[in-house]
Chains A and B, each alone.
Chain A
Amino acid sequence: MTDLSVKIGSLVLKNPVMVASGTFGYAEEFKDFFDLNQIGGIITKTVTLEPRPGNAPPRIAETASGMLNSIGLPNVGVEHFIIEKMPFLQPLSTKIIVNVAGKTGEDFVEAVVRLEDVDRIDAYELNYSCPNVKEGGLTFSANAAIAEQVTRNVRKVTNRPLIAKLTPNVTSISEIGKAVENGGADAVSAINTLVGMAVDLGKKRPKLSTITGGLSGPAIKPVALAKVFELVQNLSIPVIAIGGIMNATDALEFLLTGAVAIQVGTANFINPRAPLDILEGVRDYFDKNRIDGISSFIGSIKT
């Protein structure tokens, strides 16, 4: 059986299949569907310093080959996260990556400082790219200088691996990628959702309360492949792929393009066992094609 382990900085995953923030709750929601310890890593729903109620309904809309969401990062806040959500995650043997967001750069730093005392957090993913939060979100990843500075400030307070999650809603994603690399990020993950809009003709209004939201699902996979490819070409740090991964073929395409790992996102809503199905499909592919090591496969696309 092929060794599927991959390295992201000092973080070693037993396989490259992770689950994307905001699509997997705090993992407990999925415990009835498969053995969570099988997959490479779990990235939590975003945690912020203070609790957030989230956006007013309607928050989601079905679209062609995908969906729009404007959830607005509802969460219990870092203190309650530690007390209420971590105890389920701590005994798991998969990697636990906590996704953190903030209204300000200081919020990111403070939230991470608070999480530093907590056992069993293997890495942080910095959510620079949520398109659905009024107070910022996008500003962190749409401005290279700010993204670099926030990353540098967080870097100062933790030795745990840092993954910067990037938005595709910018002119040049690799410019932002290079900035967070300079700031000390160990990896980037891309892409977050694309800004989109859906209209309800009958009600003559937008389908989402916030008018626009983030598009995800198979509809965005070609965009994600292009952005991942661009990042792989331009950065020295590893790239983790997100964007419309529904099955093992999708995951393998991203690995071939150069991503060291992948995150299953919207697929979790459609098939709650998708991460395990994808992992098994990836393993089968390597076994059937007698590929010795995953590292020789990653980035081996012929261009």
Chain B
Amino acid sequence: MSGNKILTEATVKHLEEIAENIFRMHLYEPHIAQTSHAGQFVNIQIAQGTTIFWRRPFSIHSTNPESGIFEILFNAVGRGTQVLKKIKNGAKLNLVGPLGNTFNHAPHLEEIIIVAGGLGIAPFKLLLQDLRKQQLKKTVFFGVSSTANLCCLDEFSRLGAKCRVSTEDGSKGYHGFVTDDLQNYLQELPDSSHRELLVCGPTPMLRKVQEIAQTLQINAQVSVENIMACGFGACMGCPVQLAHPHDDGKRYLLACKDGPVFNMDEILLDD
């Protein structure tokens, strides 16, 4: 059960660059740290200026309920994250959270298979924390363009996951797309039942995973990225199209409120 969403201020405790241009920020806010689950996000006000008007959504990367600290992960590429990477320890960040739904895998699985592309790795540390006490196999397929973009592997191993890395330039692990490595892995299994895919990453990767999951009839959940303003269902600016509406018309869910986690066969993936 997740806690109520609140409007609050979190204190920046630590900021580190853990891979090329990828930052991990530790924030102190006990309600978020104690009530959030994997898949949920916070919507952070970065500036009150003319150019960064909206808040920015960030997956909750991990939580420590005892210390009241939670982490976010970001790639400093946009206007908001460029500001965020320069924020000093002790600064207060106004945020709304925890927002959105959570990954929710079926009971009695043999294996959870995480498929992440780039910063799509963000929600899965918390997922592995949530699953720490569950006796099931946890495998992480992590695809990046090059070794410089890799992060989190030690922590994931400590949380009991087996990590398989793919790099597009072949600098580490499987040389090629993570989805090809995934496909090889799944095809070699004698039986793909009792397994579930949990997926987050760029749209072309999601499309490929969707295809693989459909072919092999494996259930897959995806956390979608979407631009959003409010983050809690008021602006209705983050529609996700339903794949099988009950009539011929177009039907939409909201990424912020109905998601960000969806069953992969339930939605159409956007550009």
Contacts and interface: CB of A to CB of B under 8 A. Distances in A.
A33 interface: yes
B250 A33 contact: no
B83 to A, nearest CB: 14
Contacts of A30: 234
B233 interface: yes
A271 B250 CA distance: 31
A58 B238 CA distance: 8
Interface string B227-271: 111101111111111000000011110000100000000000010
A192 to B, nearest CB: 15
Interface stretch (B46-54, B67-75, B147-155): B46-54
B237 A69 contact: yes
A120 B252 CA distance: 30
Contacts of A24: 234
A62 B54 CA distance: 7
A67 B239 contact: no
A270 interface: yes
B53 A56 contact: no
Contacts of B52: 62
Contacts of A45: 236
A268 B4 CA distance: 18
Contacts of B233: 25, 29
Contacts of B19: none
A23 B5 contact: no
Contact of B53 (A217, A272, A273): A217
A158 B265 CA distance: 46
B55 interface: yes
Nearest to A271: B7
Given A53-B250, A67-B53, A268-B230, A60 B7 contact: no
Interface size class of A (residues with CB under 8 A): 20 to 34
Given A53-B249, A217-B53, A272 B96 contact: yes
Given A29-B232, A272-B7, A54 B51 contact: no
B91 interface: no
A32 interface: yes
B64 interface: no
A103 interface: no
Contacts of A58: 227
Contact of B239 (A32, A54, A65, A271): A54
**Which residue, of A57, A58, A64, has the highest number of chain B Cβ atoms within 10 A?**
A57
Contacts of B236: 22, 45, 54, 59, 71, 74
Give the interface SS of chain B, mostly helix, strand, loop or mixed.
loop
Contacts of A272: 7, 96, 230, 232, 234
B239 A269 contact: no
B51 A69 contact: no
Contact of A65 (B5, B50, B229): B50
B6 interface: yes
Nearest to A73: B236
B45 interface: yes
A59 B257 CA distance: 16
A60 B237 contact: yes
B252 A67 contact: no
B5 A32 contact: yes
A54 B55 CA distance: 23
A63 interface: yes
Interface of B: 4-7, 45, 50-55, 96, 226-230, 232-241, 249-252, 257, 270
Given A59-B236, A59-B238, A269-B235, 18 more contacts: A23-B234, A29-B233, A30-B234, A32-B5, A53-B250, A55-B239, A56-B239, A57-B238, A57-B252, A62-B53, A64-B51, A65-B50, A69-B235, A71-B236, A74-B252, A268-B230, A269-B234, A272-B7
Interface pairs A-B: 4 shortest CB-CB: A60-B237, A269-B230, A269-B229, A25-B234
Interface of A: 22-25, 29-30, 32-33, 45, 53-67, 69, 71, 74, 217, 268-273
21 contacts: A22-B236, A30-B234, A32-B5, A54-B239, A56-B239, A57-B226, A57-B239, A57-B241, A57-B252, A60-B235, A60-B237, A61-B227, A62-B54, A64-B50, A64-B51, A66-B53, A71-B237, A74-B236, A74-B252, A217-B53, A269-B229
